[in-house]
Amino acid sequence: MDPTLTHQIYKGLEFWTLINLTDLFILLSFFVAGLVLAREYLQSYEQILSLRVSLEVWRVLVDLTIDLLLFLDILLGVIFLNPDIFADIKVALPFVPLAEVLLVPALILRVFHDGKKPGRTESAVLLLLLLAAGANLFGFTFVMEAAGSEWLDTHPQSPWATLRGLRSNLSVELSMLSFYIFYPLLVVEFGWAVVAGIRHRKKMSAGQAPQK
């Protein structure tokens, strides 16, 4: 097979995979925010669970599903938050990277700071998730899928031209600026997650220690 054709096929599959992963990241942010927002709706199903064990299993299942989907969403965000992929595919800047750095503290608060229980922390988690979903929604609709060249040919002064310019593969300067801003924030958040995890583990170990 022609090496050039092989390379083109490889790059095409790479682009297709990355674009679909980015779209999945955006869709998952909507889904997770919706699950947390619909907490009262999910709790309504508890009324049909007569056994205490089934009730506890349902609550654990809901919380575990939200946490796992949120963790998966964060991992997807890590995949494309780098200059090379910014140059290859259209990522809405700075909206999609902003969503990534909003999702991380939401997961940390849920897992390590009682963000699953009703209260101010849970409200902060919901706010972070809604902001992340909103950033993704705006970036996807108005940047990644902005009005096409057919529209811009007849409306050259349209704001859509400016919005299209926020695509990562059309602006090297904005791509690098976004990387320099959001990647260090992500590293700091990961450091926070590690510290919070260690403290939470020590707290749980101390609580399980036998009383003398």
Instruction: Render pLDDT for 126-172 as a digit per residue (tens, 0 to 9).
Output: 999 999 999 999 999 999 998 877 777 777 777 888 898 899 999 99
Task: Say if CB 77 and CB 99 are below 8 A apart.
Answer: yes
Does residue 49 carry a pLDDT above 90?
A: no
Q: Which residue has the tokens 């494309």?
A: 80
pLDDT in tens, 13-39: 888 999 999 999 999 999 999 999 988
- Rg of the chain in Å (alpha carbons): 21
Task: State the alpha helices, DSSP H only, in 81-158.
Answer: 83-88, 95-112, 120-139, 149-154
Rounded Cα distance between 195 and 153, Å, is 53
Residue range 57-100, pLDDT digits in tens: 878 888 999 999 999 999 999 988 999 999 989 999 999 999 99
Whole-number Å distance between alpha carbons of 168 and 83: 9
Tell me the DSSP string of 42-99. Answer: HHHGGGG--SHHHHHHHHHHHHHHHHHHHHHHHHHHHHH-SHHHHHHS--BTTHHHHH
| Backbone angles phi and psi of 155, in degrees to 5 | -135, 70
Q: How confident is the model at residue 2 (pLDDT cuts 50, 70, 90)?
A: low
* Nearest C-alpha neighbor of 88 from the set 173, 11, 6, 165: 11
Q: What are phi and psi of 92, to 5 degrees?
A: -75, 115
User: Do residues 167 and 144 lie in contact, with contact meaning Cβ atoms separated by under 8 Å?
Assistant: yes
- Residue pair 91/80 in contact (Cβ under 8 Å)? The answer is yes
Structure-token pair, residue 57: 């299993």
**Average of pLDDT values for 32-60?**
78
What are the counts of helices (DSSP H) followed by strands (DSSP E) for the chain? 9, 0
CA atoms within 13 A on the CB side of 30: 9
